[in-house]
Structure 1
Amino acid sequence: MIRLFKEKEKLREIAESSDGRAPVKKLSAGELRLHKDISELNLPESCGISFPNGKDDLLNFEITIRPDEGFYGGGDFVFSFEVPLMYPHEAPKVKCKTKVYHPNIDLAGNVCLNILREDWNPVLNINTIIYGLYHLFTQPSHEDPLNPDAAALLRASSQGFQAVVRHVMTNGYRGETYHPLFMQHMKAASYHQSRLK
């Protein structure tokens, strides 16, 4: 009986629509705002957007960042965005899907970007987040790190840091550990700092 009622309700909705097609799903305020944000994206040339679940699922998408300069120049870094229904009152959840040696990104893909946490407010948008992520690759910060080892090496020796980044980008990770080159640069940086004292 309930099934029959649902079928009658569906037929009534179709009959009420002006062109005979099934009614379009109403979007929430957050989905409308997200649709506007995505339609107005002004991405850097080295960034791209994709929708793994299809364009009907705007709440889940991926951003690829390809920095053309700095420590990470020439790399491809993919971030997943999961936008809550309460957007823009809640920040999207952003994860880095690419394992990267970075002071502000840990091996689990968590990203240290203040606008995704305490500094988020509804005036900000998806474009702002993408530019913030892009900035992490052109200007990584050793302050407030998620990867303390990478931050310590960046603080001690930018050349050593660059060498490890290049090595990891070229050869990747082995499981959850860095290549031995990282430890060599850390020891050299520590030795250099102790000689300066």
Structure 2
Amino acid sequence: MGKLIRFLLMLALAAALLAGGLYLYAQPQQTLDLNYSDLSIKNKLADMIASRKLEVELTEPEVNNLLKKALAKQSSVRGEVEVTGARFTLNGSEWIADVNLLYQKRWQIGAELMFAVSWQEPYVTVVHTGTRIRQAGIPSEWFRLKPLQVPLNDYMPKLAGVKSIDFLEHGVRLKLGIMLH
């Protein structure tokens, strides 16, 4: 009987150590938030006029703000996981977000989310393709964000609209056209 109790205590201790280790492993490595600044294309119009091209280039921080705004609107995932912070890194049409998550309103988790990006007029659509916590991949059944949609034409002057998009290494180039509605 004493051996069984000792075995059960050792098993409980091992389980507690494993749970504590997993909790420490999953902790966020950096403090992130969902604060963003609204995009103002009007500041870029002077550059567009000077270059005589109907193009606007958005920098990585500007795209980051657009995506954080879209993410803030749907920060809850299945009710038990909430995105509390993010920072996006652009690399062509594959984007990565370092995120802070809150599981069951109690446990903080740091993760890296991978996204595939496409232009489907009138939206830039950002689709979650994978999740990693440090180096460990997480099955998509456990955590999946709904696609983020950013309506870029909402940021354009009234007569201009986005015709096409080029995804650059650290930014996005918008090719504009005159929209007659």
Larger Rg: 1
Q: When you count helix as a share of all residues, which structure comes out higher?
A: 1
Same-fold call, TM cutoff 0.5: no
Taking CA–CA contacts closer than 8 Å with sequence separation of 6 or more, which of the two structures ends up with the larger relative contact order? 2
- Normalising by structure 1, we get a TM-score of 0.29
- Normalising by structure 2, we get a TM-score of 0.31
